[in-house]
């Protein structure tokens, strides 16, 4: 059986690997992050069929601040995917960071509607991530570009969530200041595996702060079995080990953590569509 996350790695921004054959229904999951926007198309069985990712600067601290830029980014992604897809893609879902629903719900809904998607679901990011992870009792720490989201899960449901404005962008800013280079150059250094050890030394205080933030919230809860780290920032080698030292709980990082939440967003369409079919 094909691993959906492993398959995603092969198809993101690779139209030559997109395959819509045999799909009876298609759904779009759109993740509008601080510095990247991801669109994933799944079929009725939850298998990714196409995916695109673009660097964007449309959100800050979890809030959409550039509506037109966000709309254009999603439109470009969907146009590219639809160009290769022989059947219409008309249903979709999106998400928001914890504690930002008051400002994001309508905005993200309008963005999807602006690219001709019927919005089946707008859910919080931890719930979306757990659609993939299926944690029963534990926590999710989602480290994105601009924020770190913390969610506690009991009996498979999110019972508490919060969000702090510290994330990958802060690592890049520290690197830029340390080397006296531009933010864009710092981003490249951050993802350069040959410089990983050096980068980790420079940004370690920021990672420790992220771990400390997570620990502050998680210490309020007993009997947490494990903590899962997701989000693009967690892909920095050594990041999860430093956070684990601060959280002091069993901590793990799934493969390709930046794809966990967007895939969960797409999968949430199946929950809503299934309930409609039963009604």
Say yes or no to pLDDT of 43 above 60. Answer: yes
pLDDT category of residue 96 using cuts at 50, 70 and 90: confident
Across 224-246, average pLDDT: 91
pLDDT category of residue 102 using cuts at 50, 70 and 90: low
What is residue 1's predicted lDDT score, i.e. its pLDDT? 59
pLDDT digits over 260-277, tens only? 999 999 999 998 765 443
Bridge partner list, 162: 150
What is residue 275's predicted lDDT score, i.e. its pLDDT? 45
- d(C-alpha 161, C-alpha 149), whole Å: 7
Q: How many CB atoms lie within 10 A of CB 9?
A: 15
DSSP state of 223: -
**Which domains, and CATH codes, for the chain?**
4-129+259-278 (3.30.420.40), 134-257 (3.30.420.40)
What is residue 274's predicted lDDT score, i.e. its pLDDT? 54
Secondary structure (DSSP) of 185-237? HHHHHHT-GGGHHHHHHHHHHHHHHHHHHHHHHHTT-S----EEEESGGGGST
pLDDT category of residue 65 using cuts at 50, 70 and 90: confident
What global pTM score does this model have?
0.90
């Amino acid at each position: 059986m094909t691993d959906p996350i492993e398959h995603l790695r092969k198809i993101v921004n690779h139209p030559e690997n997109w395959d819509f054959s045999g799909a009876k229904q298609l759904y779009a999951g759109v993740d509008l992050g601080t510095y990247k926007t991801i669109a994933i198309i799944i079929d009725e069985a939850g298998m990714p069929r196409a995916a695109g990712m673009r660097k964007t600067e449309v959100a800050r601290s979890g809030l959409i601040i550039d509506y037109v830029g966000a709309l254009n980014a999603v439109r470009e992604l969907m146009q590219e995917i639809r160009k290769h897809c022989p059947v219409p893609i008309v249903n979709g879902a999106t998400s928001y960071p914890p504690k930002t629903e008051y400002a994001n719900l309508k905005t993200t809904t309008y963005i999807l509607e602006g690219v001709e998607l019927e919005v089946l679901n707008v859910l919080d990011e931890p719930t979306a991530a757990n659609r993939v992870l299926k944690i029963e009792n534990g926590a999710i720490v989602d480290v994105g570009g601009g924020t770190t989201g913390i969610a506690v899960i009991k009996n498979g449901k999110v019972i508490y969530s919060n969000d702090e404005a510290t994330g990958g962008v802060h690592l890049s800013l520290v690197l830029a200041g340390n080397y006296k280079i531009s933010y864009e150059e710092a981003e490249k250094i951050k993802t350069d595996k040959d410089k990983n050890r050096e980068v980790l030394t420079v940004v370690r205080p920021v990672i420790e702060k992220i771990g400390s933030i997570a620990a502050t919230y998680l210490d309020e809860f007993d009997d947490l079995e494990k903590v899962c780290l997701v989000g693009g920032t967690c892909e920095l080698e050594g990041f999860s080990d430093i956070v684990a030292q601060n959280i002091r709980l069993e901590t793990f990082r799934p493969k390709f953590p930046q794809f966990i939440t967007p895939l969960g967003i797409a999968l949430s369409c199946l929950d809503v569509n299934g309930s409609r079919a039963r009604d």
